[in-house]
Amino acid sequence: MDKVKRSERLGAMARILTETPNRIHTLGEFCELFGAAKSTVSEDLDLIGRSFAEFDLGRVETLAGAAGGVRYRPIPSPERARRELDALAERLREPGRMLPGGFLYTSDVTSESRTAQTLGEILAMAYYEAAPDLVLTMETKGIPIALMTARALDVPLVIARRDSRAYEGSAVKINYIAGGGNERIETMALARRSVRAGQRALIVDDFMKGGGTLQGMVDMMREFQAEVVGVCVMIATVEPREKRVKGARSLLVLDGFDRATGRANVLPSEQF
């Protein structure tokens, strides 16, 4: 009878933990849900944790003390993270992705939920210790990856707009310098109520060339008296070497195109 019960609890518990990445659940919560003793729930969590570790499915972490409990973090092994980034780089090297202006067609990849989730989990991994309160991105292409990073960290996503729309209420607007080659002034707007002073922001975007948009987001956070704990992107171009924003990290690098084949030279950055 106990055996059946355990086998019924394990799947449900694994589901509940992984559905709420980085959220702390008390053991009491599971005791109540399953009508089981703390020691029993504790053993269940051990089993799930060992099984996740064995099959590279992320980490189940037990926290002692008053704020104690258990949480799941979707942290891949370095080998799996590297495999995922290699596979992504290979997809982005497919011929036909070269666009005018030295751009790379990535929309099919960035808006795939599975890919966005994998990348979000790899990005989040580097920022659990920095404990951001929110993830900030700028519309549009970075949203899926930023949302999945926010999901892995269990924090809200905040989206800066190109112009303030009526349906977001009063907004802070700033100008920033966009464009690696042909520089131009652009506007970025963020709803006033979306960030509070003192909050810690992780900035996530899909692409960095000159770094102007990312620096714009850093400036925006200064307007809100929020602290930037990290700046990261899916892919950064090698050129220009000097970026407007400092200290940004990327999962992949784009080192131009092979003119003959039209192939993008995309590789993992070794920064994650």
Q: Which residues contribute to the site for a second copy (CB under 8 A)?
A: 3, 6-16, 18-20, 33, 47-48, 50-52, 54-55, 57-58, 99-101, 103-108, 111-114, 116-117, 139-141, 143-144, 147-148, 150-151, 156-159, 161, 166-169, 191, 193-194, 207
**Residues 6 or more apart in contact with residue 149 via CB below 8 angstroms:** 119, 120, 121, 123, 124, 135, 202, 204
Q: Rounded to the nearest whole angstrom, what is the least distance from the CB of residue 271 to a second copy in the complex?
A: 22
Q: Rounded to the nearest whole angstrom, what is the least distance from the CB of residue 23 to a second copy in the complex?
A: 9
Q: Rounded to the nearest whole angstrom, what is the least distance from the CB of residue 35 to a second copy in the complex?
A: 12
Looking at beta carbons only, is 194 or 199 nearer to a second copy?
194
Looking at beta carbons only, is 114 or 270 nearer to a second copy?
114
CB atoms within 10 A of CB 146: 28
Q: Rounded to the nearest whole angstrom, what is the least distance from the CB of residue 22 to a second copy in the complex?
A: 11
Looking at beta carbons only, is 65 or 182 nearer to a second copy?
182
Looking at beta carbons only, is 89 or 191 nearer to a second copy?
191
Looking at beta carbons only, is 194 or 269 nearer to a second copy?
194
Q: What SS3 state is found at 171? A: strand
Local structure of residue 47 (DSSP, 8 states): H
Count helices and strands (H / E) in the chain.
8, 12
> Which of 112, 171, 122, 234 shows the shortest CA–CA distance to 158?
171
Q: Rounded to the nearest whole angstrom, what is the least distance from the CB of residue 42 to a second copy in the complex?
A: 14
Q: How far apart are CA 43 and CA 39, in angstroms?
A: 6
Looking at beta carbons only, is 146 or 251 nearer to a second copy?
146
> Which of 80, 106, 111, 84 shows the shortest CA–CA distance to 93?
106
Q: Rounded to the nearest whole angstrom, what is the least distance from the CB of residue 130 to a second copy in the complex?
A: 18
Q: Rounded to the nearest whole angstrom, what is the least distance from the CB of residue 66 to a second copy in the complex?
A: 25
Ramachandran angles phi, psi of 13, nearest 5°: -65, -40
Q: What SS3 state is found at 86? A: helix
Looking at beta carbons only, is 12 or 247 nearer to a second copy?
12
**Residues 6 or more apart in contact with residue 94 via CB below 8 angstroms:** 263
Torsional sign, CA 154, 216, 91, 83: negative
Torsional sign, CA 192, 198, 204, 207: positive
